[in-house]
Amino acid sequence: MNSPAVHHAASPKPVVRQMWGGGPLRRWSLAKTTQTPLGYSRGFVGAYVCDECLAPCEGVYQLREPHKWVCGACKRKLALARGGR
Protein backbone atom coordinates (compact mmCIF):
# COMPACT_ATOMS: atom_id res chain seq x y z
CA MET A 1 0.00 0.00 0.00
CA ASN A 2 1.38 3.42 -0.97
CA SER A 3 1.49 6.16 1.62
CA PRO A 4 -0.17 9.41 0.67
CA ALA A 5 2.26 12.16 -0.21
CA VAL A 6 2.89 14.59 2.58
CA HIS A 7 2.92 18.19 1.47
CA HIS A 8 4.65 20.65 3.72
CA ALA A 9 3.70 24.24 3.26
CA ALA A 10 6.73 26.27 2.34
CA SER A 11 7.79 28.52 5.15
CA PRO A 12 6.78 32.10 4.38
CA LYS A 13 9.67 34.04 2.94
CA PRO A 14 9.89 37.57 4.35
CA VAL A 15 9.52 40.42 1.89
CA VAL A 16 10.53 44.07 2.20
CA ARG A 17 7.54 46.32 2.77
CA GLN A 18 7.03 50.01 3.47
CA MET A 19 5.34 50.29 6.85
CA TRP A 20 3.13 53.25 5.88
CA GLY A 21 3.12 55.95 3.19
CA GLY A 22 6.51 57.64 3.53
CA GLY A 23 7.51 55.27 6.32
CA PRO A 24 10.56 53.04 6.70
CA LEU A 25 11.07 49.70 4.99
CA ARG A 26 11.02 46.52 7.09
CA ARG A 27 11.15 42.81 6.57
CA TRP A 28 7.56 41.54 6.73
CA SER A 29 5.73 38.21 6.45
CA LEU A 30 2.28 36.76 7.09
CA ALA A 31 3.66 34.19 9.55
CA LYS A 32 6.24 34.48 12.30
CA THR A 33 9.76 33.53 11.16
CA THR A 34 13.24 33.92 12.60
CA GLN A 35 13.62 37.01 10.38
CA THR A 36 10.21 38.46 11.31
CA PRO A 37 9.60 37.76 15.02
CA LEU A 38 7.43 40.76 16.00
CA GLY A 39 3.66 40.81 15.51
CA TYR A 40 2.43 43.87 13.61
CA SER A 41 -0.83 44.70 11.83
CA ARG A 42 -1.94 41.27 10.51
CA GLY A 43 1.61 40.09 9.96
CA PHE A 44 5.08 39.96 11.45
CA VAL A 45 8.01 42.35 11.08
CA GLY A 46 11.75 42.08 11.53
CA ALA A 47 14.75 44.24 10.74
CA TYR A 48 14.48 47.67 9.20
CA VAL A 49 15.83 47.94 5.64
CA CYS A 50 17.86 50.93 4.45
CA ASP A 51 16.33 52.87 1.50
CA GLU A 52 19.83 53.57 0.13
CA CYS A 53 21.73 50.25 0.30
CA LEU A 54 18.68 47.99 0.85
CA ALA A 55 20.50 46.08 3.59
CA PRO A 56 18.74 44.96 6.78
CA CYS A 57 19.78 47.02 9.81
CA GLU A 58 18.86 47.51 13.47
CA GLY A 59 17.47 50.98 12.94
CA VAL A 60 17.15 53.74 10.38
CA TYR A 61 17.42 57.54 10.34
CA GLN A 62 14.85 59.68 8.56
CA LEU A 63 16.42 62.17 6.15
CA ARG A 64 14.47 65.19 4.96
CA GLU A 65 16.36 65.87 1.73
CA PRO A 66 16.21 63.52 -0.03
CA HIS A 67 13.32 61.92 1.87
CA LYS A 68 14.74 58.52 2.79
CA TRP A 69 15.14 56.18 5.72
CA VAL A 70 18.80 55.16 5.88
CA CYS A 71 21.17 53.10 8.04
CA GLY A 72 24.00 54.76 9.97
CA ALA A 73 26.63 53.94 7.34
CA CYS A 74 24.56 55.44 4.51
CA LYS A 75 23.72 58.49 6.63
CA ARG A 76 27.45 59.18 7.09
CA LYS A 77 28.18 58.51 3.40
CA LEU A 78 25.43 60.91 2.24
CA ALA A 79 26.54 63.58 4.73
CA LEU A 80 30.13 63.36 3.45
CA ALA A 81 28.93 63.56 -0.16
CA ARG A 82 27.11 66.82 0.71
CA GLY A 83 30.17 68.19 2.50
CA GLY A 84 28.59 67.71 5.92
CA ARG A 85 30.00 66.02 8.96
| Residue 52: per-residue pLDDT | 97
| Residue 11: per-residue pLDDT | 53
Low-confidence ranges of the chain (pLDDT < 70): 1-11, 84-85
| Residue 3: per-residue pLDDT | 43
| Residue 1: per-residue pLDDT | 46
Q: What are the Cα distances from residue 8, in Å, to 22, 28, 30, 39, 42?
A: 37, 21, 17, 23, 23
| Residue 65: per-residue pLDDT | 85
pTM for this entry? 0.79
Nearest-angstrom CA–CA distance, 9 and 61? 37
Helix locations, the chain, DSSP H:
72-81
Q: What angle do CA 14, 17, 23 make, to 5 degrees?
A: 145
Percent of the chain past pLDDT 70, that is, above it, reads 85
